[in-house]
Amino acid sequence: MESQPFAGQVALVTGAASGIGRAVAQRLARDGAAVALLDVDAAGVAETERVVRALETPVRTVTVTVDVSDAAQVRAAVERAVAALGTPAILVNCAGISRGGPVAGLGLEDWERVQAVNLRGTMLCCQVVTPLMAAAGYGRVVNISSGTGVRVGPGSAAYAASKAGVIALTKALAGELATSGVTANVVAPGITDTAMTRAAFGTREAIEAAAREGRIANPMGEVLEPEDMAAAVAFFALPESRHITGQTLHVNAGAFMP
Ligand code: NAI
């Protein structure tokens, strides 16, 4: 039987309705965690719950519909998750959006919404969940940034700024929580085949061709999968990763090496 390093633990995953968040929920559930599945997309999160419950071993789950940019909603969602499953040992902030364009024509509405979901949403979830973890003396926070938060190209200002912010936020948190038994780290994905990427590239085949032909930096020439990101999240979430905090792990097939 496969080992279950998260047996007896509760994981709270935002953005769990799709892509990387869904893969993270599956991975943590497979590895023994009860999973609280949070997302603004109620139908998507119900589908994730169905997928997770189809795993071989029985998994405890709860789904909560929440806009992570809204402080009151986040507080209520966490309360609901805790009431259903117990205090989270693992928090993974995957909820995110990508919008915008060159600064010259960047609409304030797009700018504000990207910061609100990607950065404020991540901060709010950390703000509500980490005191519970600290009180329990144990926790693993993994925030999803992006390679774009570090290696920034033209036209990505809103998204890149939000993702750079996630890295800075996580470093601050890691320091604040250093003596509490709670770590905080970042996974920074390269271009991964999810709904977000399909919206930009159109099809899986288009992403594969771009990787193969070097149009997206990827020396391995292979498409990154949500499961690749889930594996990195699971690594940070392990009990024995206790001395790893404030770090950013780039899962990008060697696209760049900061
Ligand atoms: P996705 O679009 O498949 O999933 C994002 C999820 O976030 C969706 O389920 C969506 O409903 C949810 N969400 C959006 N706004 C929300 C809100 N206000 N409140 C709650 N949930 C909300 O995209 P993907 O690719 O799985 O993205 C996951 C994370 O990974 C995001 O933070 C994204 O920025 C990041 N990322 C993705 C990359 C990629 O190539 N797919 C590359 C680098 C980072």
pLDDT in tens, 224-242: 999 999 999 999 999 999 9
Mutate to test the pocket of ligand 1, among 12, 18, 74 (most ligand atoms within 8 A of CB): 18
Res 9: pLDDT: 98
Res 213: pLDDT: 84
Question: What contacts 119, CB < 8 A, 6 or more positions away?
Answer: 162, 165, 166, 169
The percentage of residues in the chain with a pLDDT greater than 70, rounded to a whole number, is: 99
Q: For ligand 1, what atom is nearest to the CA of residue 118? A: 32
Q: Mark 161-182 as b/e (b = at least 16 C-beta within 10 Å).
A: bbbbbbbebbbebbeebeebeb
Res 1: pLDDT: 43
Which residue ranges make up each domain of the chain? 10-189+227-251, 191-223
Task: Return the minimum-mean-pLDDT range out of 64-78, 161-175, 193-207.
Answer: 193-207
Let me know the angle formed at the C-alpha of 37 by 164 and 251, rounded to the nearest 5 degrees. Answer: 40
- The residue type at 258: P
159 catalytic? Reply is yes
Host H or E run for residue 90: strand 90-93
| In contact, 159 and 101? CB cutoff 8 Å | no
Ligand 1 centroid vs 179 CA: distance in angstroms? Answer: 31
Ligand 1 centroid vs 158 CA: distance in angstroms? Answer: 15
Res 21: pLDDT: 98
DSSP for 14-63, written as a single string: ESTTSHHHHHHHHHHHHTT-EEEEEES-HHHHHHHHHHHHTSSS---EEE
- DSSP class of 103: G
The percentage of residues in the chain with a pLDDT greater than 90, rounded to a whole number, is: 92
Catalytic residue among 6, 111, 159, 236: 159
- Is pLDDT of 2 > 70? no
- Is pLDDT of 130 > 50? yes
Ligand 1 centroid vs 154 CA: distance in angstroms? Answer: 21
DSSP for 168-224, written as a single string: HHHHHHHHHTTTTTEEEEEEEE-SB-SHHHHHHH-SHHHHHHHHHTTSS--TT---B
Ligand 1 centroid vs 3 CA: distance in angstroms? Answer: 29
Pocket of ligand 1 (CB under 6 A): 14-15, 17-21, 39-41, 44, 66-69, 94-98, 117, 121, 144, 146, 189, 191-192, 194-197
Q: What is the pLDDT of residues 138-191, one digit of tens each?
A: 999 999 999 999 999 999 999 999 999 999 999 999 999 999 999 999 999 999
CATH class label, 10-189+227-251: alpha beta
What is the average per-residue pLDDT within 106-123?
A: 98
Q: What is the pLDDT of residues 6-62, one digit of tens each?
A: 999 999 999 999 999 999 999 999 999 999 999 999 999 999 999 999 999 889 999
